[in-house]
Structure 1
């Protein structure tokens, strides 16, 4: 891919490079010619070992000095822009936006009410039902008596991500017990169908481009095998949800397609960050990161460059990113090989190349 000559002079800070969205985002920006500064709170994060990356361990977002340390890092390394792959830090970044702008760090952040809907599944349910957009019925633990009998259920963290602490049951009595095990739980009606993710870019006027892919195989919340598809009804429902929430910039939406049901398209969540499988959108022809850079720098988003081909199928695999010798871990002269693995995409169709 030709290097974007304008991007080649840009320094972009990417947070959360240990997760799949941040890892792939950092590497994709490098391929666009950007100098990338990558941060993660985990010192063993695989993204910190990306060749050519300026790596820096960060404080956890819950640390009281998180914002102070981030501003110090920006003052020291002078990024021109910041892209977050960690949704939980968005409220702090939004509060810091004016200060970041003053020191020359561009951001492209959604408004507070959109962040709230992305971080809080109960709020997401409230917003979508207010606009009449199909989404699974959702109850808080104190509303458990309102759950009908014989309703398959999902108990999950209200503010969780990555399919962590997600549990399934068949009765509200079982859900009541699971609520004791899941942190800050909510209960949702379980939805079956063909699971999909929409990789989205919303410009500042509210216009959205939507790239659809079925999640054919999922492990630990991460789509391992996926295939792009076109469906105007699904794309329209996603666009309605983006507008209802007030999303802007790079984001993703998940849901189910249920052929034969009155509510054929049901949306389950919206994330104000890149999805873990966004590389498939690019392999199918959408200039997702290039147009994200255009919007980040205040320019127009060329939505015609976000068109994509259907039926492009990609599969993730594991590769070794780095191997090091670590004597300190053993306490003696013996050495230990430490392989850092990263999950990537490999093409399963002749035109699915990155």
Structure 2
């Protein structure tokens, strides 16, 4: 079996985990836009791909996979997920499996407002979320929302473009400067992460939950596993209602009212398997 990590980055530890369970004849191929990506060191074969945004990206990856008889492609970088999800069928026609969820799932995951809509439509608790300062002010006047609030980029990642606001002037300023802004209540509680896995027909395979202890650049650096039945049931509900194929990293807060869904990343999490 030949496996390709299409943007290996610094995920050398993930390559090593795969090496431990693969057979001696199985090969791991690693690619990245940078020849200095540390994860490449742990791969049996290495190559450099163009940037995901380059028009030739898909063609280069597909040609490489065909030439080197790649069986499975595992994407790890957010920008490549949307691109590869859209062309997964082209790889499948060549007998190459891309471990990625369907385009609709990827779209739900990469738009935090759509993530909230998904939760609301499926009875999965999410933070109160609005798309304008006026709507936030109206809800505050109705006592259904309270300060502080947080302004986020709907399509942001790595904890970028996030501003906490204690009053209307701060909210207005943050909203004006944030790309693709949305406004959410600030959740009070402990943050947890899930490693969810779905099968070929999106059937649930496993739910692993961990309490986040230390964060680094928006990724989990240290965590403690938990078998809290409330959290496990919440993770199962997400997995059953979202078409997930392969790994999916999910962030939630455990509040006094129970778990609330925060973010979905349809790939191996940055801290996997911390």
TM over 0.5: yes
Find 1:268's aligned residue among 223, 240, 262.
262
Report the structure number with the largest CA radius of gyration: 1
Residues 38, 56 of structure 1: 8 Å contact kept: yes
Separation in 1 of the partners of 2:116 and 2:171?
19
Distance 1:102 1:128 in 2: 34
Corresponding residue of 1:47:
39
- 1:76-121: CA deviations, max 9, x gaps? 3221110111233223223322221232311233222211111111
Partners of 1:166 and 1:23 lie apart in 2 by 29
Q: State the alpha-carbon separation in 2 of the partners of residues 229 and 247 from structure 1.
A: 22
SS of 2:230's partner is helix
1:12–1:242 distance in 2 versus 1, CA, 3 Å: same
Give the Å deviation of 1:218.
Answer: 1.0
1:116 corresponds to 2:112: no
2:171 and 2:47 map into 1 onto residues whose CA distance is 42
The residue that corresponds to 2:21 in the other structure is 32
> Pick from 229, 242, 246: which aligns with 1:245?
242
2:162 to 159, 166, 188: 166
1:151 maps to 147
Task: Show the counterpart of 1:85.
Answer: 76
- 3-state secondary structure, aligned to 1:266: strand
Task: Report how far residue 225 of structure 1 moved.
Answer: 1.8
Q: Secondary structure of 1:27's partner?
A: helix
RMSD of the alignment, in Å? 1.9
* Offset from partner CA, 1:310-339 (integer Å, 9 cap, x none): xxxxxxxxxxxxxxxxxxxxxxxxxxxxxx
Deviation at 1:172, TM superposition (A): 4.0
Shift of 1:251: 0.9
Post-superposition Cα deviations, 1:44-92, rounded to whole Å, max 9, x if no partner, equal 32212x2343222222222222111211221332211101112332232
Cα pair distance change 1:176/1:242, threshold 3 Å: farther
SS in 1 for 2:150: strand
CA distance 1:223–1:129, change in 2 (3 Å) = same
Which residue is 2:251 aligned to?
254
By relative contact order (CA 8 Å, sep 6+), the higher-ranking structure is 2
CA drift at 1:126: 0.7
Q: Corresponding residue for 1:137?
A: 128
Is the contact between residue 3 and residue 72 of structure 2 (CA under 8 Å) also seen in structure 1? yes
- 5+ residue gaps in structure 2? 141-145
- 1:1-354 equivalences in 2 (<5 Å): 10-19=1-10, 22-33=11-22, 34-48=26-40, 50-140=41-131, 143-147=132-136, 148-149=139-140, 150-203=146-199, 204=201, 206-258=203-255, 261=256, 263-280=257-274
Alpha-carbon distance in structure 1 between the residues aligned to 2:271 and 2:7: 15
Q: Measured at CA, do residues 175 and 41 of structure 1 come closer, stay the same or move farther in structure 2, by a change above 3 Å?
A: farther
CA contact (8 A) 2:15 2:42 kept: no
Give me the whole-angstrom Cα distance separating, in 2, the residues matched to 1:268 and 1:189: 11
Unaligned residue ranges in structure 1 (runs of 5+)? 1-9, 281-354
C-alpha contact (below 8 Å) 2:16/2:42 kept by paired residues: no
Q: Deviation at 1:205?
A: 5.1
Q: Is the 8 A contact 1:138 1:189 kept in 2?
A: yes
User: How many equivalent pairs are there?
Assistant: 263
| Cα offset, 1:169, TM superposition | 1.8
Structure 1, 120-129 or 106-115: larger mean CA deviation: 106-115
After TM superposition, the score normalised by the length of structure 1 is 0.69
